[in-house]
Structure 1
Amino acid sequence: MRTFALVAALACAAAPAWAQVALQGMMGNRALLIVDGSPPKPVAPGETHRGVKVVSTAGDQAVVEVDGRRLTLRVGEAPASVGGAAAPQGAKIVLTAGSGGHFLTEGRINDKAAYFMVDTGATSIGMGAADAERLGIDYKGGQPVRMGTANGMTLGWRVTLSSVRIRDVEVRDVEAVVSQASMPYILLGNSFLNRFQMRRENDQMVLERRY
């Protein structure tokens, strides 16, 4: 019985049903993988780390495989969920303020990498046209709106994002506004934040899902 339990535990450790995987960088032909928040580990093609196998590397990207599913990772992109089963849906996000006091975080919009800055004064998620185009959002098919900025009024479009994910927490059907003016960050506004109970703990912001 003990032998069976040990074998089962090792099998689970070697081949997780899902994993959050990020590519931090490259060391020659080895990929610096971060799996489920673990320290970066250089992994060569053909080698496996925590159930994630590196199939090949080239330039700033690596192809990995988990439970038979392959995914291409690129340096600097937000962590991706890979595996044979769907990732569990989390209910809590903890963000730590940066040196300027702002809460910045990586995430995904419609399953593409995005970089957010929390803005509790913004009615909805806000982004510039360049980010919208990179994310494949057909914003010009949205509802035209007039937006006030520090430089005056500008044209924008109201759209609905199919999915917004931060770590293992995903929210669907989130309103956003795309501005024709450039923006340094994607603003994580109240169309996302209102889905959570929000509180501050020293330099941390804790978001706990309402629904």
Structure 2
Amino acid sequence: MRRFKLICAGLLLVTSLSGQAETQVQVVGLFPGAAVLNVDGQRKLVKVGQTGPGGVVVVSADSRGAVLRVDGVERTYGMTREYSQGFAAPTRSQLSIAQGAGGHYWVAGSINSHPVQFLVDTGATSVAMNEAQARRLGLDFRVNGRPMVVSTASGTAKAWRVDLNSVKVGGLEVLGVEAVVLEGDSPTEALLGMSFLNRVRWREEQGVLMLESKM
């Protein structure tokens, strides 16, 4: 059956002549060599050459846009702002975290939908965790990670740089977050570092850390 394209509020819908939507695709994040896709409501970070939800293949990607193969047809996609049903603009999420013991900020969240207890660390350049925590999250960091050496309070340590599909605390979710997995047992708690915090608005006032999503 012949198909046609319907453009609606920046969202590309591939439909049949009967008007039934077949594949709904959004690009909600762009990185060199990867894109965060929302395909029929399922979000995932997909690297170039890999297949994402709904069989969508990322052919190429950079900060300007991505070429995707959808239903066997290649098209160029730009960044799309996500909309809720009815195309209402998304609301800004906020989260307040009270200072805990030792002046630290602790917050429950998730990595790739798995629950994680975070220690907020503005001195950490990335979200960081030890190798046991990474295995519990199902991260195959020795295969998919990029080996590196990091400096810690105890000296240098072997580590792997990985890309997380999502990191979420409260109602704030950031997609495509860079993280570091350290060899050994440190850090004892997953660190919520600047690779997440730089993607939201945050400030500290009188023992309360306030986080707010960017529009």
Q: Which moved more, 1:169-178 or 1:144-153?
A: 144-153
Structure 2: runs of 5+ lacking an equivalent: 1-89
Q: Distance in 2 between matches of 1:161 and 1:188?
A: 13
Q: Separation in 2 of the partners of 1:199 and 1:150?
A: 25
Residue 56 of structure 2 aligns with which residue?
none
2:138 aligned with 1:136, yes or no? yes
Answer yes or no: is the 8 Å Cα contact 2:203–2:209 preserved in 1.
yes
Q: Distance in 1 between matches of 2:141 and 2:120?
A: 22
Match in the other structure for 1:28: none
Task: Check the 8 A contact 2:92/2:212 in 1, yes or no.
Answer: no
For residues 167 and 121 of structure 1, what CA distance do their matches in structure 2 show? 21
Instruction: Quote the offset at 1:174 in angstroms.
Output: 0.3
Q: Which residue is equivalent to 2:176?
A: 173
Please tell me the root mean square deviation across aligned C-alpha atoms, in Å. 1.5
Q: Which residue does the alignment assign to 1:199?
A: 203
- Within 5 A, what are the aligned runs for 1:14-163? 91-140=93-142, 141-163=144-166
Query: How big is the shift at 1:89?
Result: 7.1
CA distance in 1, matches of 2:189, 2:91: 25
Q: What is the percent sequence identity of the aligned residues? A: 43
* Structure 2 counterpart SS, 1:133: helix
Offset, 1:90: 5.4
- Aligned partner of 1:187 in structure 2 is 191
Q: Judge conservation of contact 1:90–1:168 (CA < 8 Å) in 2.
A: no
Please state how far the C-alpha of 1:147 moved relative to its aligned partner: 1.1
Aligned length: 124
Q: How far apart in 2 are the matches of 1:148 and 1:91?
A: 34
Is 2:212 aligned against 1:208? yes
Q: How far apart are 1:210 and its partner, in Å?
A: 2.1
TM-score computed with the length of structure 1 as normaliser: 0.56
* CA deviation map 1:69-114 (0-9, x unaligned): xxxxxxxxxxxxxxxxxxx875212111102110001111001010
TM-score, normalised relative to structure 2: 0.55
* Runs of 4+ residues over 4 Å off in structure 1: none
